[in-house]
Structure 1
């Protein structure tokens, strides 16, 4: 076993959370086709290993920011599936009382600083949190999850530059799914591997198999340890693939069929299932998956029966609270 290898129980739990995420995405896709969702849903089918493997490598006191495609991060961090579904469908029982939706879900108690509808905005948010923790002298780490499209933004450069300069405890996890909206990565950057940019900031960088949950866990765990020691940030490029469209409103047609087929053959859940079946037996893995599917089915059934938020003429108490002195206006 190599350093930072997860235990068999940890592997099984990561597999369970990947299956939970896939069930969430597939059910959302079905409900969208039936006209039961409002607005686009950004699914992460095929990318589950990145969010789940990365969050599994964090400590309970650490923080994470993610993107508009963050369901694997939410469930990987251990958020309650029922409350996640409730938030997506605008229910009062959601993590943000139904006001954040699927892109802006957050839960400070679990260190989930939230997703973001603005491409690249998760990067400075995590960098700022890392600065705050450094100033407080806290041995805590921030994880910024972002995509290859966000990697082309100016705020990405600014965040990485200042993080390296000040040796901030932040891990930059680039979830490279090959497309920024409908644009292939080869039309966005002349650098085949974006992790090569890390050298320009004076931080370590590596490219890993983002469909291998163990590879993701190990790389992030090593980077987290480095950041926690005070050795500064790291850049990890996790190569994966977006099996579905940019969102549920995307009609597709720009992804070559053979490209999709190649990546479907390397489905992260399929790879994880094969690894676990060899170690624990196929029956135990099947039972784990069945339990995850039942849990997500129950989450939908319960959440959709929950009440919608009532109208309030003033700012709601959740998810934001007033400053202690009542000021700040």
Structure 2
């Protein structure tokens, strides 16, 4: 294993320190935690609902890269592929509560759901109004080793962007929770891998694929998917993913937002080729694209692969997706 690190046990605190030092005009660190919050002075007096997300590290820029004006108020980083602890989430909630309440955006993994729920209870004991929504956009498999139900993956980025914009627009906590659930229900993702990620503490890839193999339906923690097949041209890969995802929508009317997401070690060249093929597939199905994004948004360390997210989007959601934000990663 070759990694640009110091000690394995110091990876997350050193990463967070470097992120904050490199972007001190955007974020600051909550003392004694691996949580980061918005640094701009305006937020200190902003009367809006706080929006907090987080999860295991190794998925950067998710979540800390999306902290800033128009997206998240705070993000909490756990150890690699491991949920942050309740006390750290609790500190983030307290830091962003401005009297309007706090919404938690949680990916559907057992540890995340449990720890965010515990932090929610701690905050409610302090009379902070807290609601949570659970992102489960991965349609690849119904259950995996880390979840009960579908996994939360790259579609989380769309949820964070739309909720962040709506919070900035002054929506209430109840309105944001209802909106977030609608966005989640409209968002579908499938990932594919050519090579698994190597967790530093483990030292080798999480699973093995032959040089001519690709796996469909992988998760962002090296979870296995639904099919191992021979490598195919991008056009055929795109066709399979678009077919499966589009089948989740009752009809193809309206506008759609798409995200072609790099898993960490896939060149942008290949991501754009896949995006080109995906646009052609969607055009053939007469699915109108109102918004698109290509890039490394929700990674899995050094996994080679991509994921495709398609969301049926209301016109207002498209406007919110297009609104400028001040963050590290968007």
TM-score (norm 1): 0.36
Q: Which structure shows the higher strand fraction?
A: 2
Which fold has the larger relative contact order, with Cα–Cα distance below 8 Å and residues 6 or more apart in sequence?
Answer: 1
Higher helix share: 1
TM-score by length of 2: 0.35
